[in-house]
Amino acid sequence: MNSRLFRTIIAALVLACAARIVIAAQGNPEAAKVKNPVAATPESVAAGKQIFMNRCASCHGINGEGGAGNDLIGPAPSLVDDKWEHGSTDGEIFDVIKNGVPPDLQMVPWGDTLKEPEMWNFVNYLRSIAKKK
């Protein structure tokens, strides 16, 4: 392969990767339009906390401040800060809970094991533990 073609292919790959990172950082525009149908009542938040403790605290930490990871998976991000790489609207957070984070799925999808109201309760819980500025 000649060097010009090789450089062109490498440049295209770099641009594709950069575009993918930008898209991931922006979240899911369609999911962003979805509104949370479950009111953030004390009961909803408590139910969401229970789900978090049973399914998420082992990776994201008991307070949601992130986890160290291990030999198999990288560190889990904080769920209480203002940086949400996959979108920060209720709909985008719901989408991540339901579908995980493809393509590597270090964040597994919960859509097959949780009902929609349970996922919305979890969104309400995350909102309740978010650090206020």
What pLDDT, on a 0 to 100 scale, did the predictor assign at position 15? 47
pLDDT digits (tens, 9 = 90+) for 66-97: 988 888 778 888 999 877 888 889 999 999 99
Q: 29, 18, 25, 32: which is closest to 85 by C-alpha?
A: 25
Domains and CATH numbers, the chain: 28-129 (1.10.760.10)
H helix runs in 27-133, sequence order: 29-32, 42-55, 57-60, 90-99, 116-129
pTM: 0.75
Nearest to 91 by CA among 126, 130, 67, 133: 126
Q: With 60 as the cut, is the pLDDT of residue 43 above it? A: yes
Peptide bond into 117 cis (omega under 30): no
Q: Is the pLDDT of residue 9 over 80?
A: no
State the average pLDDT over residues 53-63.
92
More confident residue, 49 or 71: 49
The predicted model gives 117-124 an average pLDDT of: 97
